[in-house]
Amino acid sequence: MVDYFGLMKKCMFNFSPENAHHIAEFFFKQGANLTPFILTPLAEHFLIHDKRLEQQLFGKTFLNPLGLGAGFDKNATMIKMLTALGFGHIEYGTITPEPQSGNAQPRLFRFVEQESIQNAMGFNNEGMYKVGKRLETLYPFATPLGANIGKNKITTAENALKDYEKLIQRFKDLSDYLVINISSPNTPGLRDLQNEQFIKDLFVMAKELTCKPVLLKIAPDLAMDDALHVSSTALENGAAGIVATNTTIDYSLLPNAKDFGGISGKVLCEKSFAMFEALAKEFYGKTTLISVGGIDSADEAYRRLKAGASLIQVYSAFIFKGPSLNRAINLGILERMDRDGFTHINEVIGSDRR
């Protein structure tokens, strides 16, 4: 049988990572718009719909626990095609109030042998007005959508709260949940906002603005005690969950890493899991936990679910392994459930905590 994805990947990897992404975005967007009839057969193959994987979260039905993490579909242009390729939810963004071009190129680096990526993109996106207009024609959508939001680079720390206020107002009716991104390493000073006072002010404000779930995404580089404290502060002030983790600035994980930007992919796996495990020990059963970082197989996905993740997300692995990853992970979860005697995914989630 011809390995079409292997051939396509070989071709795409001849381009720079950023150009390859633009090419993929063009075909994903145009494929859905110009040939919508292909979406159904794609979904029939890639989208695993089994009642044992369904969950009710945030007032929505998640057909399976595997979603696409923020950073791939920055401007919400690929949602239809990505859904057809098997994702159970999609997190678009990161979106900022004003459009911004991001950091200087080159800013995206592919490490094929390690199946990892290093990026210093800097929240490049079309801004909340244009992305919002696009979503107004799409939302509500069959697949749950999350809005990942962050402040503009030129916005000072003193004015950061205002950026998040604008973003929550804009996307609260264009998403099923929102994720506060103050953990990217690519916007100067952003991670400094991972402090008690800002997080308290942020979530108190968010609770006043919307009834939609608002979650906090944290960095894997925080000290464990700090991560627990930051998460606790968010939850005490209205956060609906924690997303763990963002990319890492631990450059020792990757041979020949650049000395800037954040690393994602396979080399992040254990660091991300260690942070998630610590958070799950403290907060499982008290809030919704989403695990992301280095997940690239059914075994790893199953480990995160058993540790307490209600949802899991991939990003880098989708680039290296393609849409067959979605099908393989969800079928693999079902196989492991059968092996372990679980009849529904709710029994799997947090089973290591019980």
Residues with a catalytic annotation lie at 184
Distance of alpha carbon 325 from alpha carbon 105, whole angstroms: 29
Distance of CA 171 to the CA centre of its chain: 16
- Give the Cβ contact number of residue 235 at 10 Å: 20
C-alpha to C-alpha distances, 154 to 67, 135, 186, nearest whole angstrom: 31, 25, 13
Contact call for residues 238 and 207 (beta carbons, < 8 A): yes
Task: Look at the chain and count its residues.
Answer: 354
Cis peptide before 245 (omega within 30 of 0): yes
- Give me the residues paired with residue 216 across strands: 180, 242
Q: Determine how many CB atoms are found less than 10 A away from the CB of residue 251.
A: 16
Residue 94: is the preceding peptide bond cis (ω within 30°)? Answer: yes
Q: Which residue has the tokens 């009710």?
A: 56
**Residue written as token pair 């994987």:** 53
Q: Dihedral angle at the C-alpha atoms of 217, 222, 224, 227, nearest 10 degrees? A: -40
CB 121 within 8 Å of CB 24? no
DSSP string, 245-280: ---B--GGGSTT--SSSEEEEGGGHHHHHHHHHHHH
Cα–Cα distance measured from residue 157 to residue 151, given in angstroms and rounded to the nearest whole number: 9
Other beta carbons within 10 angstroms of residue 78's beta carbon come to: 23
